[in-house]
Structure 1
Amino acid sequence: MTTLTTPQTAERGLSFSRAVSIVAKREIMVRLRSKAFIISTIIFLAAVLASAVIGTQAGSLFQSTTTVAATADAAGAVSALEGYEVTEVGTEDEVRDLILDGTVEAGVVGSGTEGFTVIGERSAPEGLIQALSITPQVELLDPHAPNPFLTYFIGLGFGLVFFMSAMTYGNTIAQSVVEEKQTRIVEILLATIPARALLAGKVIGNSLLAFAQIALVALMVIGAGAATGSSLLLDGLGIPLLWFVALFTVGFVMIAALYAATASLVSRVEDLASATSPIMMLVMIPYVLVIVFNNNPTALAVMSYVPFSAPVAVPMRVFLGTTTVWESLLALGVLVVATVIALRVAALIYDRSLLRTGKRVKVAEVLRSGT
């Protein structure tokens, strides 16, 4: 619950900017003094860091090594393959003996000119057979195309960070608004500061906390890339991360304002979930669609111009290389315009419904009323 206890609020001549800064500071201090907020933030950042490190090391963590015995002519060919530990012996009989006594899993004899023979006890490793077989020439049309599996998890990561941050801070703002209405503290607040200053302070305070969290996420991902030497995190995700931070900064302000305005329509905490569910769906549906269509250029292109999905769709397009700078800037411009419109509508709703108590107020009724 947000309260103003500073002496400055008692002054009738309190400027709008001063009122906004007081409310914003109070919102920030209340969150920073909350053990639940601190613990949840630490857990969230730890999960992001662990995901970044594990993601870069996944190949080495789960890569198995096959032990192979080989004669001198075959040892060089097997040693050139990844994932095989080679023991060089002198004769084919020694290769067979090592397989039978369990020292190695397979054996290779022969030469590159005469052909190789893969030896196993009950079966031979399919990967080794394929690696030593004669394979046709391969032509890759796009050798640098992103791995679909990796693309899915990057889309999931962007979407999850945006979704969790929007939901966490959005619900925090909504809870604060309803508690102030339910305890009638809002009536005291509005006697000293305008409703729009109260709204702006709440949005700015919580937005700054959300921005700081996202900036920490970006720094941790880049730091994990530097520590592990991952070209994916340093090069592949560097520019997409910057676009994500920029779009998140604008998009979150829009979502925060809508949560505050929606919460002002109800007077009881029990009614908050149903009131804010439309906003939650506006955030959740694009999040799911971006993950489902993470490798579909057309779908991502459309979603990059939808305000609620742009913060995830645009970075994904940048990562996939399916967009240009001007398209990304246009998507950011669309989001900025949508945010300005949302702020105006949210301020109108918040101003006209904050002192209304009792049953839930309908949006249409608020917009039609002049007070």
Structure 2
Amino acid sequence: MIPTQSTASAVWLVAEREIGSKLRSKAFMISTGILLLVALAGVLIGGFASKTSTPDAVAATSQTASVVRALPNVTVTEVGDRAEAEKLVLDEKVTAAVLPADDDPTGVVILAKKDAPSSLVMGLSQSPQVEILQPATTNSLLRYLVAIGFGVVFLMAASTFGATIAQSVVEEKQTRVVELLISAIPTRVLLAGKVLGNTVLAMAQILLLAAIAVVGLIVTGQNEVLAGLGAPVLWFAVFFLFGFILLASLYSAAAAMVSRQEDIGSTTMPLMMLVMAPYFLVIFFNDNPVVMTVLSYVPFSAPVGMPVRLFVGEAQWWEPLVSLVILLASCVGAILIGAKIYENSLLRMGARVKLVEALRG
């Protein structure tokens, strides 16, 4: 057995090799740059689109000014009488005028040159009183967008770096490089280094995306959304870290069971389904509290499900802690199983190694 210091050094040496090979890859750097630009564009476009439009300039007398000022997105120009209001409307200095009208049920009349602003008409229309028994904690569209955001980031990072690990393992087997590597370091050290290196890269990408999202929200003036996303984003980073380690261990083990690049899909497809299924479930059932509660405790969907529930205020303070404990236990189990499969399959060339054989050794 090699000393602990030497083991740590060997793990980091393998991790550095994984990180360096990716950073030297033009394809990886270009794809990362495109991903960051797309994320920034998405945040900016969504932010500017959600900002309030230019306020409507509306003329009003002293009797109607208080009513008009209560409407959203309106600036009021107070006038003395109807003639002055008509002149402002005809000169297009205001979009409309609101004057008192005793013969109208609403008590007011709207003057417009051609078309009255629909928002003004709706705001002054009489509507029945509405009582909401179960008020929504957040805007449904915003909830959907947040679910998509967390889901896309997790799906892309997990699938991209999972595939990278799988290709690296098979490439080393196919070229027989792995025989030289494990003659110098233990098999589990090689596995740990691969997982560590790709985890560092994945977390760096996640942190860059988070920074871009923060900058985009600040630029577009969405401070309230940013304040609400703070804690969920931190929890997402924590859940993603351990969720990715779980997946990386399983991807490495699955790839070790084959000897050709063409066969990777046969062993990694189940893992891809485990990543994609929770993503689609969170997207489709983001407004279903029961389904979201279940998904926030399932290890493969917790990195997306729990942050979404935290953002909308449906999760109690202790729930992410319990979910994280479940994820950590699953992560330990995946590492132990993955290491056993990896160790028993790495030097077996030729036909695909069956799962039962890989577990038995």
**Is TM more than 0.5 here?**
yes
Matched, 1:355 2:347: yes
Matched, 1:28 2:15: no
Tell me how far apart the structure 2 counterparts of residues 144 and 265 of structure 1 sit (CA, whole Å): 49
| Of 167, 177, 181, the match for 1:185 | 177
Matched, 1:300 2:289: no
Tell me how far apart the structure 1 counterparts of residues 76 and 30 of structure 2 sit (CA, whole Å): 49
| SS of equivalent residue, structure 2 residue 109 | strand
Tell me how far apart the structure 1 counterparts of residues 319 and 69 of structure 2 sit (CA, whole Å): 48
| SS of equivalent residue, structure 1 residue 109 | strand
One-letter amino acid of the counterpart of residue 164, structure 1: M
Change (3 A) 1:101 1:172: same
| SS of equivalent residue, structure 1 residue 171 | helix
The structural deviation recorded for 1:49 is 3.1
Structure 2, unmatched stretches of 5+, are none
| SS of equivalent residue, structure 2 residue 97 | strand
The structural deviation recorded for 1:39 is 2.2
Matched, 1:92 2:92: no
Tell me the TM-score normalized by structure 2.
0.88
Tell me the TM-score normalized by structure 1.
0.86
One-letter amino acid of the counterpart of residue 151, structure 1: R
Change (3 A) 1:95 1:189: same
Matched, 1:47 2:47: no
| SS of equivalent residue, structure 1 residue 288 | helix
One-letter amino acid of the counterpart of residue 10, structure 2: A
The structural deviation recorded for 1:335 is 0.5
Aligned to 1:18: 9
| Of 90, 97, 100, the match for 1:107 | 97
8 Å CA contact 1:74, 1:111 repeated in 2 = no
8 Å CA contact 2:137, 2:313 repeated in 1 = no
User: Matches of residues 153-302 of structure 1 in structure 2 within 5 Å?
Assistant: 153-302=145-294
8 Å CA contact 1:314, 1:328 repeated in 2 = yes
8 Å CA contact 1:221, 1:233 repeated in 2 = no
Tell me how far apart the structure 2 counterparts of residues 257 and 184 of structure 1 sit (CA, whole Å): 21
The structural deviation recorded for 1:287 is 0.7
| Of 131, 139, 145, the match for 1:147 | 139
One-letter amino acid of the counterpart of residue 259, structure 1: Y
| SS of equivalent residue, structure 1 residue 237 | helix
Tell me how far apart the structure 1 counterparts of residues 138 and 280 of structure 2 sit (CA, whole Å): 20
Please, what is the CA RMSD of the aligned residues? 2.9
Deviations 1:213-253 (A, max 9, x none): 22233333334445555333432111111111111110000
Tell me how far apart the structure 2 counterparts of residues 112 and 279 of structure 1 sit (CA, whole Å): 70
Change (3 A) 1:222 1:141: farther
8 Å CA contact 1:222, 1:233 repeated in 2 = no
| SS of equivalent residue, structure 1 residue 325 | coil
Deviations 1:140-192 (A, max 9, x none): 55667211110000011011111111011111111111111111211221222
8 Å CA contact 1:182, 1:267 repeated in 2 = yes
One-letter amino acid of the counterpart of residue 213, structure 2: V
Aligned to 1:81: 71
The structural deviation recorded for 1:136 is 4.6
Tell me how far apart the structure 2 counterparts of residues 241 and 204 of structure 1 sit (CA, whole Å): 22
One-letter amino acid of the counterpart of residue 27, structure 1: E
Change (3 A) 1:53 1:233: farther
The structural deviation recorded for 1:206 is 0.5
Structure 1, unmatched stretches of 5+, are 1-10
Deviations 1:339-359 (A, max 9, x none): 111111111111111112222
